[in-house]
Chain A
Amino acid sequence: MTTTLTINGEQKSFEAPDDMPLLWVLRDLIGMTGTKFGCGIAQCGACTVHIDGKPVRSCMLPVGAVQGRAVTTIEGIGASSAGARVQKAWLDLEVVQCGYCQSGQIMAAAALLATTPNPDDSDIDAAMAGNICRCGTYIRIRAAIKQAASQRGS
């Protein structure tokens, strides 16, 4: 059936079965490959996107459940203040190694800063513990979130 989503502010229509996870709609039908497949069971966070500003795991989210909602992906997160600050801090502190999980990390961090402008360590733990990084960039992720928070309003 035809589904319509607003993705990064743009309306997109496509034919997809209702039970198809948003992850595969983004990647395989629309060709937006910035959102990553990691585990398929919401254990690793690589597929994190925002629905109406809230972080969700797109690998288990049926597209039929988000009909008409606003989706933000890594390709569009830089348009928000929190997203742009997170991306900049990620580069300033050279967080990234292989980078495969970082789309999800950045989406989770941007969502955290949007609701919790000055997160402490326990806020960061709670918001980011669902995102696995196999390269072990956690130390710099923590520091970069704090740096991004400190750049607010600048």
Chain B
Amino acid sequence: MTGTAKNSAGTAEGVSRRAVLTGSLAGGFLLAFHLPVRAVNEPVEPPDATEGKFAPNAFIRIDAAGKTTLVMPQVEMGQGIYTAVAMILAEELDADFSSIALEHAPANEKLYANPAFGIQATGGSTSVRAFWKPLRSAGASARAMLVQAAAKQWEVDPKSCTAASGEVMHAESGRKLSYGALAGAAGTETPPKDVALKDPKDFVLIGKPLKRFDTPDKVNGKTVYGIDAMLPDMKFATLSACPVFGGKVGTVDDSAARKIPGVRNIVVLDDLVAVVGDHMWAAKKGLDALVVSWNEGASAQISSKDIWDNLRAASAKDGVVAKSVGDIAKGLATGDKLEAAYELPFLAHATMEPLNCTVHVKPDSCEIWTGTQIMARVQSEAAKAAGLPADKVTVHNHLIGGGFGRRLEPDMVVAAVRIAKQVDGPVKVVWTREEDVQHDIYRPVYRDTIAATLSDGKIFGWKYRVAGASILARWLPPAFQKGIDIDAVDSAVDMPYDIPNFQVEYVRAEPPAVPTGFWRGVGPNNNVFAIECFMDELARKAGKDPIAFRREMLGKNPRLKAALDLAAEKSGWGQPLPARVGRGVCAQPSFASFIATVVEAEVDEQGEVHLRRVTTAVDTGIAVNPDTIVAQLEGGLIFGLTAALYGEITIEKGRVQQSNFHDYRMLRIDQAPKIEVHLIKSGEAPGGIGETGVTAGPPALRNAIYAATGVALRRLPIDRSLISAGKKA
């Protein structure tokens, strides 16, 4: 695998992506929106003219020696996508999987746009879903051209030839040719108009738990993440932005900082200061020695209390109707009524690799080394900051030390470019953990209110209002239509339960000052939490077992019902438990996957929560790399449970109060539960998986606490004082 991005145009052909929008994304919010997706079959760059090289489309290159290079349109940040993408391409290409090389895609929105968004972005658990058909078509089309080239050479019918492991064979005559030997000729073949894809029963790679391409170098220190970029004569910088959101630099006294050995330069911009040195230590000591007075500005009096007061007031008002079924007025007028409001805090991403970006600004060009989920947007934003045309900016992407949505933003690149403009030569800008936590783009606060009625033990009416920031309105404006953020209500409108009278509303409520963005689990985080917590409260009111209550209303959702049944069986649902130990369930059809999760937890006398066991059953359609799916669920559950137990960013005087892992806690190995993941075999198109564990963990844990203590928590993170011994429901 190469550590830097290379250009890899190729004459693209025959892969229509438009159909994907309505096909493989069913179940995700993007189904509703036909974003402008550029076809991949336009030759947008000069074709790769290297002699003897076969470059049939943006994803595949085969050289005369047979070396097959696959270009990765989606970025690898731990989710295993490089291996999954390679498997999908190689499956239809019939490539020799053992000799494949992978390359990061360069910044190129035309060739590498994610069909789900219309821009070059990795997020929303869309990679496999959105690229499933385009990549299969790309592989199959290239294979067909190689077969045509061989058939022509042998003067036989292409239909009489087969391909496997990087060779075309003609069984009748016993002849075979390697892809390398055919590469030059295949490049002159016309791509087929409609190429047949393999029957899934013929898959030789897809469905096998294959070893990942990216992991061997991650266990010996060889992997070069963005933060590891090293260049000749490079300087090192670290920065401090105004601690109050939106504040500006007032005065700076740098006399002490300049005396620190190794400090080379002090950069003062309108909103931040940075110290440039021979190494990070000099930069950091220099920064600590700067005396800065800030003009804190209008946000200096904002606190979490104000933000919650505003959000609660906003959520009391009617929203824009995002979905309506039946007659909601009738639905809420009949039967036993229950209402609840659920509140979710700001969260930081806290990727293990702190924010960083290395930049070399030259008079007429700019080079960038970083790890990003948005290659092309980083290129264009860096160009703006550098005052250069986009084509003068080269972005070298890297394997990413945790994305979780943080690297769907370009702010760190923009800041680094602005600093680098003041530096002669390349400079690596590294955020301290404190700066990373206090200048994140946070998961928004949400307040979700649900009112529902029960009739004959089933839900008759359900009115659900989501109130919170619209990330899409800022991040992908074409997707924000008619006042509805389709991400914020994604799993609210995708209701799995049979409810005759049903309405979802959205209230856009932007918190003052605090910037908000995507966080692993995105919209379904708030929806799945509110729905699944409320389902347990309704089950209790109906006097029913939480799983039995859900099952009865899953008539139209056999895949989720099957997952629920399997989770119930494997978790030992219903078997007796000690005092203050409970099991809680979450069922969700999110990201086009169907997942049921049971958490077993103990609440001790002090209200401390001990995770005992998590059982999850998942139908994610065709499992491209089953071991990766299991790993994503294990990790996603830990990520979500971490947030449920500890995650909250609070604001006081316009500043974030948390700063590092001592006060923004993470779950550690000694608190990690046993986790069992059970995959359900399926022939359906693949669903998303990277975020499903994140959304499953918090409601299942909350419902386990509800079962153990009788206390219906309605706010995260879990408040120990409400569930210690002696507290009554």
A74-B221, A97-B631, A100-B401 in contact; A33/B352 too (CB < 8 A)? no
| Total residue contacts A-B, CB cutoff 8 A | 179
- B266-293 vs A, Cβ < 8 Å mask (1 yes, 0 no): 0000000000001111001000000000
B219 on the A face (CB < 8 A): yes
Q: Which of B219, B222, B674 contacts A90 (CB 8 A)?
A: B219
Asked if A124 is at the interface of the complex by the 8 Å CB criterion, the answer is yes
Determine whether B236 belongs to the interface, using a CB cutoff of 8 Å to chain A.
yes
Say yes or no: A36 contacts B353, CB within 8 Å. yes
**Contact across chains for B215 and A94 when beta carbons are under 8 A apart:** yes
Q: Which residue of B lies closest to A29 (CB)?
A: B279
A37 touches B280 (CB 8 A): yes
Stretch among B242-250, B294-302, B309-317, B636-644 lining the A interface: B636-644
The answer to whether A100 and B225 have CB atoms under 8 Å apart is yes
Prevailing SS type, chain A contact patch: loop
Given the known interface contacts A34-B221, A73-B221, A131-B669, the answer about A39 and B279 at a Cβ–Cβ threshold of 8 Å is: no
CA distance A19 to B354 in the complex (A): 23
A140 in contact with B634 given A24-B280, A43-B660 (CB within 8 Å): yes
Q: Counting CB contacts under 8 A, is A12 at the interface?
A: no
Of the candidates A43, A137, A140, the one whose C-beta lies within 8 Å of that of B661 is A43
A37 and B227 contact, CB distance less than 8 A:
yes
Bound complex: CA of A1 vs CA of B143, how far in Å?
62
Knowing A40-B433, A129-B668, A134-B402 are in contact, say whether A96-B662 is a contact too (CB < 8 A). Answer: no
Q: Is A41 positioned at the interface, with any CB of B under 8 Å from its CB? A: yes
Binding site of B, secondary structure by majority: helix, strand, loop or mixed? Answer: loop
Residues in A25-81 with C-beta less than 8 Å from chain B:
27-29, 31-41, 43-44, 46, 73-75, 78
Residues of A within 8 A of B336 (CB): none
Given contacts A125-B670, A136-B638, contact A98 B78 (CB under 8 A): yes
> Is B553 close to A, CB under 8 A?
no
Is B669 a contact of A99 with CB atoms below 8 Å? no
Q: How many residues of B are counted as interface, with CB atoms below 8 angstroms from the partner's CB atoms?
A: 64
B281 in contact with A33 (CB, 8 Å): no
B221→A44 contact, CB < 8 A: no
Count chain A residues whose beta carbon lies closer than 8 angstroms to a beta carbon of B.
Answer: 57
Q: How far is the CB of A21 from chain B (nearest CB, A)?
A: 6
Question: Which B residues are CB-close (under 8 A) to A149?
Answer: none
What's the minimum C-beta distance from B286 to chain A, rounded to whole angstroms?
12
Q: Which residues of B contact A90 (CB under 8 A)?
A: 215, 219
When the two chains form their complex, are residues B279 and A20 in contact, meaning their CB atoms are under 8 A apart?
yes
Question: What is the CA–CA distance of A32 and B222 in the complex, to the nearest angstrom?
Answer: 9
Contacts of B658 in A (CB 8 A): none
| A122 closest partner in B (C-beta) | B670
18 pairs from A and B in contact (CB 8 Å cutoff)? A17-B262, A24-B279, A28-B278, A33-B227, A36-B352, A38-B354, A40-B284, A94-B631, A97-B635, A99-B399, A100-B351, A101-B352, A133-B352, A134-B402, A135-B402, A136-B634, A139-B674, A140-B631
Q: A37-B354, A39-B660, A135-B402 are in contact. List 7 more A-B contacts (CB 8 A).
A: A28-B281, A36-B227, A98-B399, A128-B670, A132-B352, A136-B638, A138-B667
Question: Could you tell me which B residues sit within 8 Å of A by CB distance?
Answer: 77-80, 211-212, 214-216, 218-225, 227-228, 230, 236, 261-262, 278-281, 284, 350-354, 399-404, 430, 432-434, 627-628, 631, 634-639, 642, 660-662, 666-670, 672, 674-675
